[in-house]
Amino acid sequence: MAAPVARPGMLNYVEGQVTIDGHSMGSKSVGQTEVEPGQILTTQQGRAEMLLTPGVFLRLSDHSAARMVSPSLTDTRVELLQGEALVEAQDVRKENRIDVIDHGVGTLLEKKGIYRFDADHPMVAVFDGKAKVLTNDEKGVELGKGKELALNTGGELKGQKFDRDQVDSLYQWSKLRSEYDAQANAASARTIMLENPGWYYGTGWYWNPWYSSWAFVPGAGFGYSPFGFGFYSPGYLAYGRPFYGYRGAFRGGFRGAPMVVRPGRAIGGGGAVHLGRGARM
């Protein structure tokens, strides 16, 4: 069996009723099934998480659908067809071009942040970060933190303020997923540091069988996810003083050392960025 590779489009989590082009997805699909170009990821009574570029997660609410347009690291495009989606971007590089299409309008994610899209009431909201909504002219509409934009208006597109404290179930579920992903990162970084330093090739996705998900591991240092959870490089764990959980609150240590897969070199998407590759346990 070929080793799985974490490219844009990789399914990283499912719950409930989830399909790709009508084929049911379950827990065994996680980590090895990709949404290929032209295919549609759909949820009924369920939710799904899909990887985009390293450090960027797209999460679908229930009764939602998204089509993979382009899975390239330097030209990643996804179209929201139905329902709601939230994108958490932990690492956006200048070489990346991450475009979420809603109601025929593309939105480029320009910085680390949290971005929400609604296809049934076409709009984009920036909880954190910076985005550019593409328009017919070359300027586009820049949206910063706390701004939203309706995409189905016939007149001039203009961002409006919104209350970032008013969140829904998709946002809260995404925050829980972010915490879980942060725990997988910490466990993976620790394992690389203690057991498998030769398998570390820098920023990228690393398979963590204990968490049954791909973990994003940065190439150096330490940082926060847009939701406020700590993410570590193996070097930081070796020489720094890590903490676990939300903005410094200890949430427990590690429960065992998972194997981290050997990554393979990725072409494009920024210097020293790698895709995960390896055999599942």
- pLDDT tens profile 126-176: 999 999 999 877 689 999 999 999 998 766 778 999 999 999 999 999 999
Indicate whether 79 belongs to any domain: yes
32 and 90, same structural domain?
yes
Which CATH number characterizes residue 139's domain?
Answer: 2.60.120.1440
pTM of the entire predicted model: 0.84
Q: DSSP string spanning 63-89?
A: SEEEEEEEE-SSSEEEEEEESEEEEEE
Which of 78-87, 170-179, 236-245, 267-276 shows the lowest mean pLDDT across its residues?
A: 267-276
List pLDDT tens digits, range 182-205: 999 999 998 888 876 666 778 899
List pLDDT tens digits, range 107-124: 999 999 999 999 999 999
Residue 271 is classified by DSSP as T
Indicate whether 6 belongs to any domain: no
Structure tokens at 236: 């930081």
Least Cα distance to 12 among 65, 55, 44 occurs for 55
Q: What is the pLDDT of residue 193?
A: 81
156 and 176, same structural domain?
no
187 and 120, same structural domain?
no
Backbone angles phi, psi at 197, to 5 degrees: -60, -25
Q: Estimate the share of the chain in helix, then strand, then coil, as percent rounded to the nearest 5.
A: 15, 40, 45
Helices (H), the chain: 169-194, 234-239
Indicate whether 281 belongs to any domain: no
222 and 133, same structural domain?
no
179 and 159, same structural domain?
no
On the 0-12 / 13-18 / 19+ scale of CB atoms within 10 A, 158 is exposed
- Structural domains in the chain (count): 2
Q: Rounded to whole angstroms, how far apart are CA atoms 20 and 25?
A: 7
Indicate whether 48 belongs to any domain: yes
Backbone angle region of 66, left / alpha / beta, with phi > 0 → left and psi within -120 to 50 → alpha = beta
Indicate whether 135 belongs to any domain: yes
Instruction: Give the residue numbers spanning the domain of 264.
Output: 170-275
209 and 161, same structural domain?
no
Q: Rounded to whole angstroms, how far apart are CA atoms 37 and 52?
A: 13
